[in-house]
Amino acid sequence: MPVRRLNHAVLYIRDVPRAVEFYTDVFGFKVDVEIPGRAAFLSAKETLNDHDLGLFALGADAPGPEQGRVGLYHLAWEVGTLGELAETAAKLTERGSLVGATNHGVSKSLYAKDPDGNEFEVMWRVPRADWPAGGEPQLRALDLQESIDRWGPDLKTGAAAGSAT
């Protein structure tokens, strides 16, 4: 059976209210269900899922993710426009969560960490007609303003434009 797309992600966190505040503020998720002190289930705007993110608390002393160890490296959340990516970059910078930004040629990506050290990517998909030829990765520093100057802040691509994911 072929996979169609990722339906939801579940993260272990230390503190439910702190994680809920982060994900509702940064991503605009809404809380569908919260089990005080234990878990929360959140959804993105206009989702068809019963939840897009599950958060399960392990307690304040739980160790965080460790770079270079086996496990999940990051999740990638797609935004519909470069304007949304720029807004997210500002919010992540303001919170001190932004840890990197990369131009992949096929996408423009921000990398950040939540309060528990879980890393995630927020990306905008370049229109397929503008993907680099040859299929070789072209990793460069992201110049978000250059991308906005080229495609504008409101061009919808990827799932936001109704294309297959």
**One-letter identity of residue 129:** A
Report pLDDT for 134: 79
Beta carbons within 8 Å of 70's beta carbon, 6+ residues apart: none
pTM: 0.90
User: Across residues 154-161, what is the average pLDDT?
Assistant: 81
User: Across residues 85-109, what is the average pLDDT?
Assistant: 97
The residue assigned the tokens 């392990």 is 58
Rounded CA gap, 22 and 95, in Å? 9
Does residue 59 carry a pLDDT above 70? yes
Q: What is the mean pLDDT of the chain?
A: 92
CA 25 to centroid of chain Cα atoms: 13
Does residue 64 carry a pLDDT above 60? yes
Angle at 31 between CA 165 and CA 39, to 5 degrees: 100
Q: Where in the chain is the domain with CATH 3.30.720.110?
A: 73-165
CATH of domain 7-60: 3.10.180.10
CATH of domain 73-165: 3.30.720.110
Share of the chain above pLDDT 70, in %: 95
Does residue 42 carry a pLDDT above 70? yes
Please list the residues that pair with 140 across neighbouring strands.
Answer: 103
